Amino acid sequence: MKKLLAIFLLLSGFSCNPYRPYYFTHYHITASYDPASTSLSANVQMVFVPGQEYHDSITFQLNEFVEILSLTAQELKYYEFDSGRLVLYIEGAVMPGDQIHISLTYQGMIVDGPDKGTMLTPDKLWYPVNPGITKLTYSIELDLPEHYSLKEPGILKGQRWHWATKKPLGYIAVPQGTG
pLDDT in tens, 143-179: 988 877 777 666 767 678 888 887 898 988 787 766 6
Residue 13: what pLDDT? 43
Domain 20-178: give its CATH code: 2.60.40.1730
- Nearest one of 18, 136, 152, 142 to 73, comparing CA atoms: 18
φ and ψ of 122, to 5 deg: -55, -35
For residues 106 and 67, the answer to whether their CB atoms sit within 8 Å is yes
Euclidean distance between CA atoms 67 and 144, whole angstroms: 20
Q: Is 143 helix (H, G, I), strand (E, B) or coil?
A: strand
CB distance 138 to 28 below 8 Å: yes
Instruction: Give the span between the Cα atoms of 18 and 31, in whole angstroms.
Output: 18
pLDDT at position 16 over 50? no
Q: Where are the domains of the chain?
A: 20-178
